[in-house]
Amino acid sequence: MKIGMFDSGVGGLTLLHKAIQMMPEEAYFYYADTDHVPYGKKPVEDVISYSDDAVSFLQGMGCEAIVIACNTATSVAAEYLRHKYDIPIIGIEPAVKPAVENNNGGRILVIATPLTVKERKLIELVGRVDEEHKVDMLALPELVSFAERGEFDSGPVSEYLKTSLDSFFEQNKQSGREGISPEKYDVLVFGCTHFNHFEATLRRYFGNSISMIDGAEGTIKNLKNIMKERGSVSEGALSVDFFESGRPVTDKSRLDFYKVLLSHLD
Ligand code: DGL
């Protein structure tokens, strides 16, 4: 079957990678909205409109299902898109529930874009599952731009993460939450698909014992079940086509960029 996936850029490759592992014989159409990245700093209405364009384009390519490979777009646009289109639309969400259910008693930090962190969807999800009040949230607005430049483990990335995280812990201290320090965290939840690419740098800050999780596997499982129920027929061979804001990617260096990032996720 033809499956469309979209994100503002390279973040959704984490879902494409998982989908290729779990459903290796399908035709994937990956739409990176490079004209409008980053979504997480834009007004809600704009992200809904970009997401609408992406889904409309992918449906026009014959996709039978769409994966919103972007937590920000899921949080603001999934409902709108599901009303408007009659094909299955599956959206990734931060894996807060699995993090709460499987941790060693420590705290959980959800890192995401500014939009995701302030949207109702995530706040309600945390309110529903975080009975012991262990979950904290932090927006890391600059990571997406670093990722789009292919910069994952540089001096400026480490510096940015250190400054942002140090200031998060400092603010907690000042507001009387003394116990909140990096060692108290067991789990880091990637609430933005771009953030998986920074695993090595984040590990240097938090140490090796922290687990890092995302919602990719759950999302693809969901896609698989829905397509099975609908009796969709597998293509029998893998293919991946890349698009940037609706334009086919033909430039070899861009295609190589996507392929190298995919291979880093192995
Ligand atoms: N990758 C997207 C997410 O999962 C958003 C990145 C952006 O701000 O464009 O939230």
What confidence tens digit (pLDDT) does each residue in 106-153 have? 999 999 999 999 999 999 999 999 999 999 999 999 999 999 999 999
Residue among 121, 138, 140 at smallest CA distance from 129: 121
**Residues 8, 32: Cα–Cα separation, whole Å:** 5
What per-residue confidence (pLDDT) applies to 179? Answer: 67
Task: Enumerate residues lining ligand 1, CB below 6 A.
Answer: 7-8, 11, 37-40, 70-72, 113, 116, 144, 192-194
As a whole number, mean pLDDT of residues 5-32 equals 97
Q: What is the pLDDT of residues 173-227, one digit of tens each?
A: 777 776 688 889 999 999 999 999 999 999 999 999 999 999 999 999 999 999 9
Q: Candidates 145, 193, 261: which one to mutate for ligand 1, based on the most atoms within 8 Å of Cβ?
A: 193
Ligand 1 atom at minimum distance from 69 CA:
4
Q: Are 156 and 177 in contact (CB under 8 A)?
A: no
- Report the separation in Å between the CA atom of 250 and the middle of ligand 1, taken as the mean of its atom positions: 24
- The span from the first CA to the last CA of the chain, in angstroms, equals 24
**Residues 119, 265: Cα–Cα separation, whole Å:** 28
Q: Candidates 33, 44, 144: which one to mutate for ligand 1, based on the most atoms within 8 Å of Cβ?
A: 144
- Report the separation in Å between the CA atom of 131 and the middle of ligand 1, taken as the mean of its atom positions: 27
**Residues 189, 133: Cα–Cα separation, whole Å:** 15
- Report the separation in Å between the CA atom of 236 and the middle of ligand 1, taken as the mean of its atom positions: 31
- Could you tell me where the beta strands, DSSP code E, fall in the chain? 2-7, 27-32, 65-68, 89-91, 107-112, 135-139, 185-190, 211-213, 239-244, 247-248
The second-level CATH assignment, the architecture, of 96-213 is 3-Layer(aba) Sandwich (3.40)
What per-residue confidence (pLDDT) applies to 178? Answer: 67
CATH fold, domain 2-92+216-264, is: Rossmann fold (3.40.50)
Per DSSP, 182 falls in state: G
Domain boundaries, the chain: 2-92+216-264, 96-213
**CA distances (Å), 90 to each of 2, 66, 215, in order?**
14, 6, 12
What per-residue confidence (pLDDT) applies to 233? Answer: 87
Residue among 132, 133, 152 at smallest CA distance from 142: 152
What per-residue confidence (pLDDT) applies to 63? Answer: 97
Residue identified by tokens 């909140």 is 180
Catalytic positions: 70, 192
